């Protein structure tokens, strides 16, 4: 574990796993000494479950205006969820066959270090909390019984759940649809709110940060030329000097964007000697061969200069990563639950909508065995190609 120049604490994976193991040893030791089930805490090896009935009671005391607003939101949720069940597959097919993959570009987001892993776990937990919390709020507003709310931790992966009562099947169809549709629609609405924040993040942060030239180093690979040259997270690379075999500078390149640095280093041959202006100091190093061309072993991003000295330089990058992963998980969770497969929200919505129709089994079958597999294949193709 070390504190970078950026002010961000960087964790080693080994340290993280050690602390995770210590956490579970402490939990298991406490559980062996006292009965945690009386606190609604259930412990299994690598699985911790916490239930709460008090939260349900408190939410149930919401005033009638709030409950009415939640029911209106439930109606909007039905509209959003049912329309997305149709729109999303259609857009994916159009994207594949008519727009040359310009409409949707689903891609794997690279994980640079453990700091990013912690951001990913938080984003996943937040998306699950929004999803299950929306189901819970809609259930209470529509007078469906809830036994308890809770969370669980499997290893170090968080999750949330809603334990429903027995009167759900007795509710009117519209109330059941409000409850079912609330989860995925909440995830989709949250995405629509967060996307503008991500797109306009530099403008939002402008009172605290100013956009500056150079490439901000956000990760340095162990054993790389950059690490051996003393480059660390939080450094800013502003110039590249190309050097000949006699050590003379033959070309100077000013770095204004991270992409310029990546393209320049990638175009050089392996073992090419270069000099870099790194946060005002000159360092010499040689490039190494990598799968995408030459490399010096750093990951870089846009550089923002803090207006206040106590603000970490790397904060805009982490806010961007946080928003990206929150959008990614909420979008995935929302659309995944609207795909029609057994026990999914989409499957339940379709069954409720077609419950009085003789062709209900045919409609459900078409979505389960045609639409859902096609959507899954198109998404996988987009991710892995």
Least confident window among 43-47, 62-66, 335-339: 62-66
Same domain, 282 and 343: no
Residue 74 burial class via C-beta count within 10 angstroms: exposed 0-12, middle 13-18, buried 19 and up: buried
Number of H helices, E strands in the chain: 12, 14
Higher pLDDT, 115 or 308: 308
Same domain, 62 and 15: no
**CATH code assigned at 249:** 2.30.42.10
Confidence of residue 32 (pLDDT cuts 50, 70, 90): confident
Reported as a single tens digit per residue, the pLDDT across 265-321 is: 988 888 888 999 999 999 999 898 877 778 898 988 889 889 988 888 888 888 988
User: What's the mean pLDDT in 360-369?
Assistant: 78
Same domain, 63 and 134: yes
Residue 208 domain flag = no
CA dihedral 190, 191, 192, 195 (to 10 degrees): 130
Q: What is the DSSP letter of 108?
A: P
Same domain, 61 and 165: yes
Same domain, 228 and 300: yes
Biggest alpha carbon distance in the chain? 85
Residue 207 domain flag = no
Q: Which domain holds residue 45?
A: 2-51
Cα–Cα distance for residue pair 63/208, rounded to 1 Å: 40
Cα–Cα distance for residue pair 301/322, rounded to 1 Å: 14
Count of C-beta atoms within a 10 Å radius of residue 366: 14
Same domain, 150 and 71: yes
């Amino acid at each position: 574990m070390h504190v970078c120049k950026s002010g961000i604490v960087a964790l080693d994976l080994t340290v993280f796993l050690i602390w995770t193991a210590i956490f579970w040893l402490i939990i298991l030791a406490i559980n062996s000494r006292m009965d945690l089930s009386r606190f609604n805490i259930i412990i299994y090896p690598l699985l911790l479950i916490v239930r709460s009935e008090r939260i349900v009671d408190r939410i149930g005391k919401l005033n009638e205006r709030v409950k009415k607003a939640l029911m209106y939101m439930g109606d909007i949720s039905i509209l959003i969820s049912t329309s997305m069940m149709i729109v999303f597959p259609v857009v994916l097919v159009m994207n594949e066959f008519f727009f040359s993959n310009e409409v949707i570009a689903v891609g794997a987001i690279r994980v640079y270090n453990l700091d990013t892993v912690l951001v990913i776990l938080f984003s996943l937990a937040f998306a699950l909390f929004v999803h299950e919390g929306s189901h819970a709020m809609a259930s209470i507003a529509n007078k469906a019984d809830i036994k308890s709310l809770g969370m669980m931790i499997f290893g170090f992966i968080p999750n949330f759940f809603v334990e429903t009562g027995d009167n759900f099947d007795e509710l009117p169809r519209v109330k059941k649809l409000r409850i079912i549709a609330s989860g995925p629609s909440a995830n989709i609405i949250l995405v629509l709110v967060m996307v503008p924040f991500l797109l306009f993040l530099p403008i939002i942060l402008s009172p605290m940060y100013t956009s500056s030239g150079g490439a901000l180093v956000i990760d340095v690979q162990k054993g790389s030329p950059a690490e051996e040259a003393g480059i660390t997270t939080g450094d800013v690379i502003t110039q590249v000097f190309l050097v000949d075999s006699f050590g003379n500078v033959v070309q100077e390149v000013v770095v204004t964007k991270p992409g310029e640095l990546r393209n320049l280093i990638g175009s050089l041959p392996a073992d090419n000697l270069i000099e870099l202006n790194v946060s005002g100091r000159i360092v010499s190093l040689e490039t190494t061969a990598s799968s995408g061309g030459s490399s010096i072993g750093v990951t870089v991003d846009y550089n923002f200069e803090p207006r206040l000295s106590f603000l970490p330089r790397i904060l805009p990058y982490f806010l961007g990563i946080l928003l990206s992963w929150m959008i990614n998980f909420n979008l995935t969770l929302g659309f995944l639950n609207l795909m029609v497969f057994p026990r999914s929200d989409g499957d339940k919505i379709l069954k409720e909508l077609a419950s009085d129709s003789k062709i209900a089994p045919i409609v459900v079958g078409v979505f389960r065995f045609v639409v859902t597999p096609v959507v899954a294949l198109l998404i996988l193709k987009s991710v892995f190609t």
